[in-house]
Chain A
Amino acid sequence: MSNIALKIEDVSKMYRLGKISSGTLSHDLNRMYARLRGKEDPYLKIGEANDRATTGLSDYVWALQNISFDVNKGDSLALIGKNGAGKSTLLKLLSRVTQPTTGNIKMKGRVASLLEVGTGFHPELTGRENIYLNGAILGMRKWEITSKLDQIIAFSGVERYIDTPVKRYSSGMYVRLAFAVAAHLESEILIVDEVLAVGDAEFQRKCLGKMGEVSAGEGRTVLFVSHNMAAVKSLCQKGVLLQHGQLTFHGDVETAVSKYMLGDNEVMNVQTFEKPLSAEAVQVHGVKVVAKGKNVDDPMIEGHPLQLEINYSLEETAEYYHFTFALKDDEGKKLFTFSNNRDEVPLQAGTHTMICEFPAQFFNVGQYYVDFLVVKNRKQPIKSEEDIVSFTVSMKPVELGIWMGREPGFIKPSFSWKHLEA
């Protein structure tokens, strides 16, 4: 028995940009003519990758291009990517709101999608009536809803207003009720898009808890789309990363998230010079930043010690050369500099790797860039290299219910606290 709950085979989706109306008829006629002659749709060939920042040559773009992956039963999978990467398009295809241009999607069991909670709520109807209507829209039978009505009402926490028209509800109550209905739908596959953007912390916790329960406890498959990486990490084991409509990574969620955090900016935590960077007698072969005890490709998680390694060679030991590094944030603002000029051990003759260790509990989540200087006699820079290396510190999974944002600032130290009796 195969364990695949969802199979996406070579799925692409093309959209036409610009105004739909003008020229539609002529394009349609062209298409029809091509089809009559048994030829391919002439507009499919000219589509291009979806990059909203650059002006393309064609009016047609591929919102998704050749996406293939499988999801096992009981997995919870995060779909991550920047705005416009194709996440929502993929969700629309999965929830059968629209059809792929090419390729197939196969699913086992019922699919419930929470693309936007509260779809089909009618403002004039009461909460109770809307539970039935919304449940039926999601594909529940009436008796199913009746049997779960008490649970749904209890979960939503709006008992008091259940016989009031929902137009009198606060937006929070509205969402609570809607999520409650959807969460109680017995589907094998649950698709959730950014529901956490609304509702207060307590309700977010409830939602995440329910979703965790759904995927881990009940063995249902969850597809989750969110820009909240902490939520993604605490809820999902697997991740799919989309960039410009293409699948760039499918695997464990840690790696997917850190790849996402890298984004388009060239973040390179390993820099190797084929032709060594030379400053007088010093030759620098490479610099890298890694999580201590990990491989260079492993994500750097906040709280974990990092180390910067620089590989150099020198003909003779020289105490008048020092390496200075300046750390910058993602906007290029200098945060601080550090140097080996207070180190008692001078740079050594031969080829060596010098390691600078950053303690645990030091860097906050973020992207960092490093400038490099070779300084002579503690006063004269003889070689400088901007952005010689860069790295990204990503969030560690947090417990459900605690704040999932990023604290401001770039260091996140862990101080010790004492309690003295007065």
Chain B
Amino acid sequence: MNNQGAEQEVENWDIVVESKTPWFNLQLKHVWHYRDLLFLLVKRDYVASFKQTVLGPLWFFIQPLMTTFVYIFIFGRVAKISTGSTPGILFYFMNVVLWNYFASCLLSASNTFVGNANLFGKVYFPRLIIPMSSIFSNLLKFGVQFAMFILMMAYYYFAQPGSIHPTWSVLFFPFILLAMAMLGSGVGMIISSMTTKYRDLNHLVAFGVQLFMYATPVVYPLSFLKNGAGMLLMINPLTSLFELYRYMFLGEGSFNAMGLAYSFGFAAVAMAIGVIVFNRVEKSFIDTV
């Protein structure tokens, strides 16, 4: 009896720091406990980025709009890439907004360890909170920009009937956002885990993401590419997602079930690997960062 009591007592620790931890130990309970931190961080990102600015949240709109105008000029006027029956401004704006969402998920996740080394070196909290909070921050930003896209879409829908054909599949749009968040942060977390030791990746990621945009149907529709190149582009898991996205809102886009399954599968695998690697590294990255 006594013995049993003692044994139970031994098991009764709230926190155990071990030198060897199982490879898959997410401690989601801890993450849940820190959920308030998650939202405070999102709020911090939002508030802090507009302090001491005159235009404030207007910057949310200025950046994609300017990019859109530049793309219209370069890809529409100079390179003469056809956007089909879709008005160019809608095509580029919606793609820029979604691409930005993906790219910022990836970039902020890949900067988790190096960018927060100072904080992580001082206090413990589930590190997963940081990439999660940047997903939410980016989602917030995307939401605001997306609202603007909806307004633009409404304008074209009524002012130029027949130029766009939204479909009921828009109801599944959240799944695209989810897949992109998983893909972006999954890959980002893998990179972040590796940058703790090999800082080379930092340099690679910044322009790598930029270049990768051209391997994704962002500034051109997939239909613009001839057969061989189009097939090659299907290797990119983002391709089907972008095509589906345009199909949902504009009724134009080429995708198939295989491609979509590949995209979602890829996203899930990237996320799983990312989280596992991230969890392994977070335990002692502070020694090498």
Contacts and interface: CB of A to CB of B under 8 A. Distances in A.
A108 B14 CA distance: 5
A148 interface: no
Nearest to A116: B122
7 contacts: A97-B121, A98-B286, A99-B17, A99-B19, A106-B15, A133-B44, A136-B34
Interface stretch (A137-145, A200-208, A339-347): A137-145
A164 interface: no
B283 A98 contact: yes
A93 interface: yes
A139 B9 CA distance: 25
A132 B40 contact: yes
Contacts of A106: 13, 15-17
A124 B47 contact: yes
Given A113-B124, A133-B40, A105 B197 contact: no
Interface residues of A, number: 49
Interface in A227-259: none
B210 interface: no
A2 B198 CA distance: 46
Interface string B87-123: 0000000000000000000000000000000111111
A107 B286 CA distance: 21
A94 to B, nearest CB: 8
Contacts of A109: 14
Interface in A54-100: 92-100
A24 B200 CA distance: 13
Given A93-B17, A122-B48, A125-B48, A113 B123 contact: yes
Contacts, number: 120
Interface string B9-32: 100111111110100000000000
Given A92-B286, A95-B123, A104 B19 contact: yes
Interface string A161-195: 00001000000000000000000000000000000
Interface in A1-16: 1-2, 7, 15-16
Interface residues of B, number: 38
B85 interface: no
B44 A99 contact: no
A107 B34 contact: no
Contact of B16 (A101, A104, A132, A136): A104
A183 to B, nearest CB: 15
A35 to B, nearest CB: 12
Nearest to B51: A124
Interface in A96-130: 96-111, 113, 115-116, 119-120, 122, 124-125, 129
A108 B12 contact: yes
Given A100-B18, A133-B41, 15 more contacts: A1-B9, A21-B198, A28-B197, A95-B123, A96-B124, A104-B17, A104-B18, A104-B19, A108-B14, A115-B121, A122-B48, A133-B37, A136-B37, A139-B33, A140-B36
B125 A141 contact: no
Interface string A314-325: 000000000000
A96 B15 contact: yes
Contact of B44 (A1, A96, A125, A142): A125
Contacts of A103: 19
Given A108-B12, A115-B122, A137-B125, A98 B47 contact: no
B15 A111 contact: yes
A20 interface: yes
A291 B205 CA distance: 67
Nearest to B37: A136
Given A120-B119, A125-B48, A15 B287 contact: yes
Contacts of A122: 44, 48
Interface in B37-82: 37, 40-41, 44, 47-48, 51-52
B199 interface: yes
B288 interface: yes
B193 to A, nearest CB: 13
B75 to A, nearest CB: 37
B254 interface: no
Contact of A136 (B19, B36, B52, B118): B36
B284 interface: yes
Nearest to B18: A104
A113 B15 CA distance: 14
A139 B15 contact: no
Interface string B142-171: 000000000000000000000000000000
B288 A20 contact: yes
B36 A141 contact: yes
Nearest to A25: B198
Contact of A139 (B40, B125, B197, B283): B125
Nearest to A143: B36
Interface string B181-225: 000000000000000011100000000000000000000000000
A122 to B, nearest CB: 6
Contacts of B125: 137-139
Contacts of B287: 15-16, 98
